[in-house]
Structure formats: C-alpha cells, structure tokens
C-alpha cells in the first residue's frame, strides 16, 4: 500500500510539472491573465488558470493508482471529483471572464451539495466533558455546506502572494495526511497524497518569482478539496475533532475572520476588497515577498503541529488541552493582529490596555 501511495505522489508531481508550462501557454492564448492594479502586489501581466494543472495532475494520478486499491470509498471519491470539477470550471471561467460573486457562490454551493449527496456530512456533536451525543439531523446538510463553502473562500482570500496559497494548502494537506495515517483512513490518505504531489509540482512554477498564478481555478479547488477531506477525516464532531480541522486551516480561517472584522469596524461591505490581509500587513512591516510567505508557512506549520498534538492526546487530556490551547491561541492572535494592524491601524484596544498595565507596573516599581 505504501508503494502505491508513493507511485501516486510521484505521478501527481510529474504530471503537474509537465502540465503547468502547457497550462501557462494556454492561459496566455485564452487571455486568462491577471493585470497589475493598485490592489495587486505583482507589477506585470501574469497568466492565471494554474489550478487546471493541479486538477489535471490530481485526477490523472488518481486514475493511475486507484484501480489497484479496492478499499476506497467510491461514492465519496466520486462526489469529490464531480464537485471538484464544478469548482474548477467556475474558477476557470472567473479567471477568464471575471464572474460575479453571486455566480461563483452558486457554483460553490452546487459543488458542496454534490459532496453532501455522496454521503459526506458532519453527523454528530458530542457534549463537552460528558458522554451525551447529539445528532445534528437536518442541520448536518447546511452545516457541512457552510463549512465547505467557507473554507473554499478562505483559501481564495489568502491567494495574494507567489506560492502563498499553494504552500499553505500543502501544509494543511500534509497535516490531514498525518492524521489520516494515524487513523488508517485509506481513502483520505490516498487523496491527500495525490493532492500534495499536485501542489508541490505546481509550486515549482508558482513560488516567488512566480511564472504562473493558480487563479480562482486553483484556489477554489484547493479550498474545496481541503474542506471535504477535513470532513471525511473528522465526521463525528467532538470538541477536539471540531478544533482539529479548524487548526489545520488556521491561517486562511483566521485571515478571513479578521477581514470580516476589519470591514465591520470600518463600515465596509464584507465583500469589499482591500490590502490589509495578513500578507499585506507583513509586507508593510518591511518583510520581503519571499520572507513574508515563509513567515506565513511557519504560522501554518504551527497550527498543523497543534492539530496533530491534540489528536495524540487522550480524550480527557484533549478536552483540557483544547481549552488551554484555544485560550493561548486567541490571546496570541488578538495581540498579533493588533500589532500588525490587520483589523485597524489606529484602533488597538488590547494593546492599549496591556500598555496601561505595563506603565502602572513600572510606576509602582519605581516608588
């Protein structure tokens, strides 16, 4: 089985390496390009549609190795492939024609509905510090669709620097892969292996200085696939298993949360675009393009490590560990967000409060 995983990874990697230059030429021919403007970091016209190379590598490698594995959940994989095809098509059309947000959202909901129809849903919630289990019943469907659509858009939002979205997705994929190996989930292990190979192959051309962007076709596909894989791996939503996929996707989800808060504080529509995402803030602080991406890779790795650590704990340890870890992460996230100005460059209530405490402490010490 390990040999098949290795063959799948190598096949996906090689297909992505071969297909990405071809897709790059096709993007120029189809005029699916990204022109620089006041919101963009790049300064020259760049081809989009890179997601097609990732998708082709993923699909191609799957059909190479899947016939040799008879323990795959065929209906689930079918739902993922069909849903993935839908989001890639929607993303590719947006890369070329700039679709309206409503049309893109409808496409994402349709793709998520296909996955849910194939049997992928969040079914149960366990009450914290108790043995009672609550069935989500009809809420399972809208909750799962909300999760898939939310994560899909979160990955799309962080796609602002060369190699950023692809690298963060690769780290998240690796984390899910490690957890799936721990649980012996053959379907998730194979899909993660193929996705990781596809992303790494594409990253050869996408890391700074990029020769091609993944575009919405890539960002939507990666977000959609990661959201689906996280549900596949953690269908029963205990406190811990709910936190694990959230931690795995901590960078895109926290950046999305701060973007919503930033627009709310500044009385702007939630859909309004700006240049205050995490990567923008780090660039303003003086970090180079490459260093900014590597810093965010480090943050994503920390979130992934935390998710694996939680999963290694016993149930009782994990409950208390989750409480402590979430409390620490919230403090770090809030203080860090205010320090770099991701919500507001002027409104920093927590930092001001901490500074007042520091000043009073110093005054007492000098008396």
Q: Which residue has the higher pLDDT, 325 or 33?
A: 33
Q: What is the pLDDT of residue 332?
A: 81
Residue 237, classed as helix, strand or coil, is strand
Q: Give 232-281 pLDDT, tens digit per residue.
A: 866 544 445 556 777 888 888 888 888 888 888 777 777 677 777 888 88
DSSP state of 35: -
**Is position 267 annotated in a ligand binding site?**
no
Least confident among 142-146, 158-162, 204-208, 360-364: 360-364
- Find, among 47, 39, 45, 80, the residue nearest to 62 by Cα: 80
CB atoms within 10 A of CB 229: 25
Residues in contact with 35: Cβ distance below 8 Å, sequence separation at least 6, in sequence order: 45
Reported for 294-297, long-range contacts at CB under 8 A and 24+ positions apart, including other chains, are 296/158, 296/164, 296/167, 296/168, 296/251, 297/167, 297/168, 297/171
CB burial readout 108-120, b (16+ within 10 A) else e: bbebbbbbbebeb
Q: Is the pLDDT of residue 356 over 90?
A: no
DSSP state of 207: S
Distance set, CA 165 to CA 214, 220, 359 (Å): 9, 10, 41
Place of tokens 């409503």: 102
φ, ψ dihedrals at 47, nearest 5°: -75, 140
pLDDT band at 134 (very low <50, low <70, confident <90, very high): low
Q: Is the pLDDT of residue 115 over 70?
A: yes
How far is residue 58's CA from residue 201's CA, in Å, rounded to a whole number? 11
Is residue 126 a contact partner of residue 239, using CB atoms and an 8 Å limit?
yes
Q: Which residue has the higher pLDDT, 9 or 180?
A: 9
Place of tokens 């803030």: 281
The string of DSSP letters for 293-333 reads: HHHHHHHHHHHHHHHHHHHHS-HHHHHHHHHHHHHHHHHHH
- Model pTM? 0.88
Q: Is the pLDDT of residue 77 over 60?
A: yes
How far is residue 76's CA from residue 238's CA, in Å, rounded to a whole number? 22
Residues in contact with 157: Cβ distance below 8 Å, sequence separation at least 6, in sequence order: 252, 255, 256, 259, 277
Q: What is the pLDDT of residue 236?
A: 45
Q: Is the pLDDT of residue 298 over 70?
A: yes
Helix residue spans in 66-214 (DSSP H)? 74-97, 101-117, 140-157, 164-183, 186-206
Which tokens belong to 98?
């700039």
Distance set, CA 234 to CA 111, 190, 238, 322, 329 (Å): 20, 16, 9, 16, 21
Distance set, CA 324 to CA 99, 245, 306, 331 (Å): 43, 17, 12, 11
pLDDT band at 127 (very low <50, low <70, confident <90, very high): very low
pLDDT mean over 1-26: 94
How far is residue 136's CA from residue 222's CA, in Å, rounded to a whole number? 27
CB atoms within 10 A of CB 236: 12
**Is position 94 annotated in a ligand binding site?**
no
């Amino acid at each position: 089985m390990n040999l098949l995983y290795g063959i799948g990874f190598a096949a996906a990697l090689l297909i992505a390496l071969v297909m990405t230059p071809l897709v790059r030429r096709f993007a120029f021919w189809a005029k699916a390009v990204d022109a620089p403007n006041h919101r963009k970091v790049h300064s020259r016209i760049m081809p989009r549609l890179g997601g097609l190379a990732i998708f082709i590598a993923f699909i191609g490698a799957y059909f190479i190795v899947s016939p040799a594995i008879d323990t795959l959940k065929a209906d689930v994989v079918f739902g993922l492939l069909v849903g993935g095809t839908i989001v890639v098509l929607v993303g590719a059309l947006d890369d070329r024609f700039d679709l309206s947000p409503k049309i893109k959202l409808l496409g994402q909901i349709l793709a998520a509905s296909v996955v849910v129809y194939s049997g992928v849903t969040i079914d149960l919630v366990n009450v914290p510090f108790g043995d009672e289990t609550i069935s989500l019943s009809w809420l399972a469907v809208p909750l799962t669709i909300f999760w898939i659509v939310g994560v899909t858009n979160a990955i799309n939002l962080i796609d602002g620097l060369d190699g950023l979205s692809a690298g963060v997705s690769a780290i998240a994929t690796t984390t899910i892969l490690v957890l799936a190996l721990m649980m012996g989930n053959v379907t998730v292990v194979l899909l993660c292996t193929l996705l990781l190979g596809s992303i790494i192959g594409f990253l050869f051309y996408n890391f700074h200085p990029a020769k091609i962007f993944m575009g919405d076709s890539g960002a939507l596909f990666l977000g959609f696939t990661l959201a689906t894989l996280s549900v596949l791996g953690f269908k029963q939503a205990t406190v811990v298993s709910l936190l694990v996929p959230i931690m795995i996707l901590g960078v895109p989800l926290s950046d999305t949360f701060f973007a919503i808060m930033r627009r709310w504080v500044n009385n702007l529509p939630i859909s309004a675009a700006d240049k205050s995402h995490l990567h923008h803030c780090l660039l303003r602080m003086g970090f180079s393009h490459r260093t900014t991406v590597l810093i965010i890779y480090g943050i994503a790795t920390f979130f992934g490590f935390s998710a694996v650590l939680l999963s290694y704990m016993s149930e009782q340890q994990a409950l208390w560990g989750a409480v402590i870890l979430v409390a620490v992460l919230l403090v770090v996230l809030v203080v860090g967000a205010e320090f770099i100005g991701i919500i507001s460059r002027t409104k920093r209530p927590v930092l001001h409060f901490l500074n007042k405490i520091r000043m009073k402490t110093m005054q007492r010490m000098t008396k």
